[in-house]
A and B are shown apart, each in its own frame.
Chain A
Amino acid sequence: MAINWFKYSAPTTFYGLAGKLIPFFAWPAAVLFVVGLYIGFFVAPTDAVQSEAYRIMFIHVPASILSMFIYLIMAGYAALGLIFKTRLSAMMAQALAPTGALFAFISLWTGALWGKPMWGAWWVWDARLTSELILLFLYLGFIALQASIDDPRRADRAGALLAIVGSVNVPIIYFSVKWWNTLHQGSTIKFTGTSMHIAMQHAMLAVLAACWLYAIAVSLARVRSIILEREANTQWVNALEEVRQ
């Protein structure tokens, strides 16, 4: 069976597809946030060491994971755009950057609010924290660089190079707690099993899934605007129902 894989890599078709997909990600995201936080606050027991403060984990860990994954996906799209010169790839990279930056910010913010009562400091120049801060700056650098270059194709190329080079920072964040002697604790969830109470795991996984779905929904919504902005001079955009009104 011949499937045209490039069909949806064209902004023309992807614009409509993305619009149809958004509710299928947005609504499950909302439900999973409610379920995850319900389990996290009402089912998961109080921690023996950290008391109620540990409940920050249910947003801190998913936000941190997402900030790293979104960066890799963004760099992947940027690389695809650089190699195959597909217009949509560069637009997807552009659409993912603000969401990734916001997750990096949430990771740092909730980390500070967790660090203060547990470590006695809002911030320490520890390997994990510093590399996550660099991740936020990489996102902001990518956004600023793209915004500063007028020619969109040159902006895509410059942004792609920054995104690809910056992706070496992601494994550094992930392994920082193993490579260096840091204040930040190691991973609680491992491939070999975890040391967490089952309700805590369920809460965290539900919020993680919610964050994933939210990130997809909001990025799809943003890429639709980016398509409209960048394809403004094309006939198909001007023939759209929402433009003709």
Chain B
Amino acid sequence: MNWAEFFAMNGYAFYVWGSYGVAFLVFLVEIMLVRNRRKKALRNLRLMRDEMGENRTGEAA
């Protein structure tokens, strides 16, 4: 079996690669979304902390 035959999947290439392609695209997108969610959560926490810090110095002055 050569590579061209392998990729042709005996005429079922669209169905087979369409299945695996979308499945792994879904996994990749999910991993990216989870990473972004963590970055966003940490950014919000730092923002909240900085704002609180400013308020505190404001009170002191």
* A and B bind: yes
Name A residues whose Cβ lies closer than 8 Å to a Cβ of B. Answer: 37, 41, 46, 51-53, 55-56, 59-60, 63, 98-99, 102, 105-106, 109-110, 113-114, 116-117, 214, 218, 221-222, 224-225, 228-229, 232, 237-238, 242-243, 245
Q: Quick check: B19 and A243 within 8 Å, CB to CB?
A: no
> Hey, which chain A residues are within 8 Å of B38, CB to CB?
221, 224-225, 228
Query: How many whole Å from B13's CB to the nearest CB in chain A?
Result: 8
Q: Quick check: A117 and B42 within 8 Å, CB to CB?
A: no
- Classify the interface of chain A: helix, strand, loop or mixed: helix
- Classify the interface of chain B: helix, strand, loop or mixed: helix
14 contacts between A and B (CB under 8 A): A37-B20, A52-B12, A56-B16, A60-B19, A106-B26, A109-B19, A110-B23, A218-B31, A218-B34, A224-B38, A225-B38, A225-B40, A232-B44, A238-B49
Name B residues whose Cβ lies closer than 8 Å to a Cβ of A. Answer: 6, 9-12, 14-16, 18-20, 22-23, 26-27, 30-31, 33-35, 37-38, 40-42, 44-46, 48-49
If A51-B10, A52-B9, A99-B30 touch, whether A228 touches B41 (CB-CB below 8 Å) is yes
